[in-house]
Structure 1
Amino acid sequence: MILAEVIPAPLVGRHVLVLPAGTDVRPLAAAWFPGAVWERQPLDPGERPAAARPTGARFRGIVVEAPRPTTGLLRLDASAALDGPVRLGEPVARALGLGARELDAWSLVVGAGDDGSGSEPARTDGAPGDPASRHELAEGWTVAAARRVRGAVLPADGSRVVAPDPAAAVDLTLWSPLPLAPQDVVPLVRPALAGARIGPADAPTPEPADPTAQPFSVAAAFEYDGVVTIRAARAREVPLVLSTVDQRQYGTWAYHVAWQPPDSTELLQEQPSQLHLIARSRVTPSVARVAATLWRVAGGTVVDSGGFVVTPDELTDRARDLR
């Protein structure tokens, strides 16, 4: 498939984030770029101006009023912004292999001014002045955002459609103000992790000034599905997304619930084996149940491996075993 023959011409040659129609892109952006702000709000269809009409005296020539832009410009940081949305109808979505649904397309642009003038598409072809190195973070965010909401990314080279699997984001971290003792955690998580046992901590031992905050790990091994590990320690830094949350709703005590499959190399594969997918489907509800249990006891905020906040309702959905 040649993307240039499928997508609207203004999107050709641009790095494009494709989201389900109507998705609020700013909260997604704020997870990685807390200062994300609208420099130009997108217009709703009802607010869009009519076609430009010529004005001016009959014998003084014709002057055409410049139409107002209908797309918005969301500034991510000093060097990157999103321009959009451009609505993609169901025929385009089907042609892209993204199902029969409407989509919103957002172009990643660089060097955009307050009105978007002079912006250039983010390129990855190594051309002189290539801004890809400066915008690697922004491009990485587009993949994470697409995974978060079942969207896709259309690279600037038009080579393919990247549709990250949302189910691949298994790991969860609870950021809580309350440290728990390992002997208290084990009985809490054993209903979800049969055979869970206290293991060695990967974090350094805390200083005597903080004797209650003891790092630890708890692990449960499964014959065919790998290992689920809970690693608890006080962190010096927290994810950027927590800057968008009330400070009373999280802490620096991190409970990281992670899955290590039998073959860890499959975590990086776009199309892992069927055995990996089966194991993942069995483990994902357990990881969510552990995070939900710790959240109910210690409080705080849960963040997924993509850097986005996971709500209690979403935890409940993840904890359902749909096999």
Structure 2
Amino acid sequence: MTHTLVLDRSYGLDDLFALTLNRYPLARKKKKTIRVSDTTSLVWNPSANEATIEVPMHRDGGPSEIPDGFGFDTAFPNGVPAGEEREILEFALNAVRRLGGKVVTDTGHELAPHQFMQPSLHVIAAYELAPKDLLEIVQKIVKESELVGEPEGFPYMISAPIFAHADLVVEATTLEEDIPAIEHVEWVKEGAALYTVAYRPDDPSSLVAENPEKPQIREWREAYLGCSAVARAIWDETGGFVLDYENFLVNPNELF
């Protein structure tokens, strides 16, 4: 089964491979092919600036009752992708979200998630900030920020209203999951702090949309600017890594 990942002309195979390693650390590039696994490959066509996604087809029944935000229900009316096919398609959608472009499915449907959809960011650091210290950092960006409850240490949360219907939330916890992009780093293996800077609207379904209206895009952008400023301020204090919502590495110097 083949789908097509079309990249913005500003980027190419090396950029795609760098993102691939974030999700698939064992991926290998040989000439114009990125081998993700024994059964999944991205075959690069330089003249079209696109990669053919070669993966076994695996479809799971009919469309879901709940829209997924990616547009899979529309693109695959006879059964949405599952298993390895779903995984590589979600990777491809995140690649075009980060680099620009679109995914063209085998059914001919074009999927192009907006770059500011899901504006939350993660900061992975080697040490824990005390609640009052993190609050001081966040209040420099959003003065109305306040601690939730009366925490003495990890875990804890800071909340700040940024819209009438949405908050910017910073959750300070201990990193529990393995993140492929950084799992090889020794201090991460030994234990790290996770600061999640999240945009929390009253209606969580507004975080994703296949065809967002202009007001929604403006809100996502403003939310990303807020999350970006806070994440950068935390990183300036702690160092470490910044990742996006889907755990792809972000260059802190490119944050707004």
Aligned pair partner of 1:83 in 43, 50, 68: 43
Counterpart for residue 92 of structure 1: none
Aligned pair partner of 2:112 in 163, 177, 192: 163
Q: Which amino acid aligns with 1:172?
A: L
Aligned pair partner of 2:139 in 179, 190, 196: 190
Tell me the distance in 2 between the aligned counterparts of 1:133 and 1:284. Answer: 30
Deviation at 1:260, TM superposition (A): 1.2
Deviation at 1:236, TM superposition (A): 2.1
Deviation at 1:178, TM superposition (A): 1.0
Q: Say if 2:103 is the partner of 1:153.
A: yes
Tell me the distance in 1 between the aligned counterparts of 2:155 and 2:106. Answer: 44
Q: Which amino acid aligns with 2:156?
A: F
Deviation at 1:278, TM superposition (A): 3.0
Equivalences, count? 234
Deviation at 1:185, TM superposition (A): 0.9
* Inter-CA distance 213–75: structure 2 relative to 1 (3 Å threshold): farther
Aligned pair partner of 1:140 in 90, 97, 110: 90
Higher relative CO (Cα under 8 Å, sequence separation at least 6) belongs to 2
What RMSD over aligned residues (CA atoms) do the two structures have, in Å? 2.7
Tell me the distance in 2 between the aligned counterparts of 1:149 and 1:28. Answer: 9
Q: Which amino acid aligns with 2:38?
A: A
Counterpart for residue 212 of structure 2: 272
**Equivalences for 1:1-323 in 2 at 5 Å?**
14-21=2-9, 22-23=11-12, 24=14, 25-38=16-29, 40-41=30-31, 72-88=32-48, 104-110=49-55, 122=57, 133-158=83-108, 160-200=109-149, 214-224=154-164, 226-243=166-183, 246-247=185-186, 252-315=192-255, 319=256
After TM superposition, the structure 1 stretch with the greater mean CA deviation from structure 2, 224-233 or 18-27, is 18-27
Structure whose alpha-carbon radius of gyration is higher: 1
- Contact (CA 8 Å) 1:216, 1:231: kept in 2 or not? yes
Q: TM-score, normalised by structure 2?
A: 0.81
Deviation at 1:162, TM superposition (A): 1.0
Instruction: Tell me the SS of whatever aligns to 2:110.
Output: coil
* Inter-CA distance 223–143: structure 2 relative to 1 (3 Å threshold): closer
* Inter-CA distance 200–141: structure 2 relative to 1 (3 Å threshold): farther
Deviation at 1:300, TM superposition (A): 0.6
Gaps of 5+ in 1: 1-12, 42-71, 89-103, 111-120, 206-211
* Inter-CA distance 225–311: structure 2 relative to 1 (3 Å threshold): farther
* Inter-CA distance 162–182: structure 2 relative to 1 (3 Å threshold): same
Q: TM-score, normalised by structure 1?
A: 0.65
Tell me the distance in 2 between the aligned counterparts of 1:242 and 1:142. Answer: 20
Q: Which amino acid aligns with 1:36?
A: A
What does the per-residue CA deviation read over 1:290-310, in whole Å, with 9 as the maximum and x for residues that have no partner?
A: 111111111110000132111
Q: Which amino acid aligns with 1:28?
A: L
Deviation at 1:225, TM superposition (A): 5.4
Tell me the distance in 2 between the aligned counterparts of 1:26 and 1:222. Answer: 36
Over the matched positions of the two proteins, sequence identity in percent amounts to 24
Q: Which amino acid aligns with 1:264?
A: P
Deviation at 1:74, TM superposition (A): 1.2
